[in-house]
Amino acid sequence: MIKILVVVANGTEEIEAVVPVDLFRRAGFDVVLAGTEEFVMCSRGVVLKPDYLIVDIPSDCEFDLLFLPGGRQGVETLVKNAHFKKIVMTHFEKGKKIAAICAAPLILIEYGIYPERRPITSHPSISSQFEKYEYKNEPIVIEEPFFTSRGAGTSIEFALTLIESFAGKEIAKRVAQEIVYPHF
Calpha distance 74→115 (Å, rounded): 23
CB 97 within 8 A of CB 147: yes
Q: Single out the catalytic residue among 14, 42, 91, 123.
A: 123
What are the CA-CA distances from residue 119 to residues 2, 132, 151 (Å)? 26, 10, 17
**Residue 123 annotated as catalytic:** yes
Question: Which amino acid is present at 34?
Answer: A
Q: Single out the catalytic residue among 16, 42, 91, 164.
A: 16
Q: Single out the catalytic residue among 13, 42, 91, 102.
A: 102
**Residue 42 annotated as catalytic:** no
**Residue 16 annotated as catalytic:** yes
Calpha distance 145→66 (Å, rounded): 11
Question: Which amino acid is present at 89?
Answer: M
Q: Which residues contact 76 (CB under 8 A, 6 or more apart)?
A: 11
Phi-psi region of 12 (alpha: psi -120 to 50; beta: other; left: phi over 0): beta
Catalytic residues: 16, 102, 123
